[in-house]
Amino acid sequence: MRRILLATAALAFGAGTAMAAGPDAEIAISADNPAECHITTYDALVDLTGVAVDSYVEPNFEYQCNFVGSPTLTFTSTNLGLQNGAYNSDYGIYLNDLAISGSPSGWQQASDTPAPYTGITTTVTPNVPVSPNFALGLSEALEVAGLYQDTLTISILP
């Protein structure tokens, strides 16, 4: 009895989706490919030892998106700057398609994160690597001797 009910249900469902016979068949086909971006290259360690205030280093950074447009980047500093125990020193973040300008004290500050960054203005070409200008530099002097550390997370979304 159970097999008969399942067969009847399958037959009833199939009858609703079948098309009437004719000379042509029109079949709707679709696919969805969501917009995505990926960071493809970056320096996992950036050393600011010996870098003067308002000077900077240019680490590697590259991303790729599968759409035409500009991605949204978000910076998040774990310590809101470089931290050495109770001492914290801010640093500037520059990531843009335009040439580096100004100084680290005038850029996005680690202490002001998490924050979306809207500096990317170039419309990306799908599936082509993009190497923007990326720089990190001290906005203020390191107060005391010792090891200062932070982790900067860069998130990228379409």
Domains of the chain: 37-157 (2.60.40)
Nearest to 66 by CA among 30, 32, 34: 34
- Write down the pLDDT at residue 151: 97
So what's the pLDDT on residue 5? 41
0.85 exceeded by pTM:
no
Looking up tokens 């493809």 gives 40
pLDDT of 30:
95
Residue-by-residue pLDDT tens, the chain, 158 positions? 444 444 444 444 455 555 667 789 999 999 999 999 999 999 999 999 999 999 999 999 999 999 998 888 899 999 999 999 999 999 999 998 888 999 999 999 999 999 887 767 677 889 999 999 999 999 999 989 999 999 999 999 88
Per DSSP, which regions of the chain are E strands?
37-42, 61-65, 72-77, 82-84, 87-89, 91-96, 108-109, 115-117, 133-138, 152-157
pLDDT at res. 20: 64
79 token code pair? 């310590």
What's the confidence (pLDDT) of residue 81? 96
Show Cβ contacts of residue 112 under 8 Å, excluding neighbours closer than 6 positions: none
The predicted structure's pLDDT at residue 1: 41
Joined tokens for residue 83: 């931290």
The first and second tokens of residue 14, run together, are: 């199939």
36: enclosing H helix or E strand: none
CA-to-CA distance for 30 and 50, rounded, in angstroms? Answer: 56
Separation of alpha carbons 14 and 7, rounded Å: 10
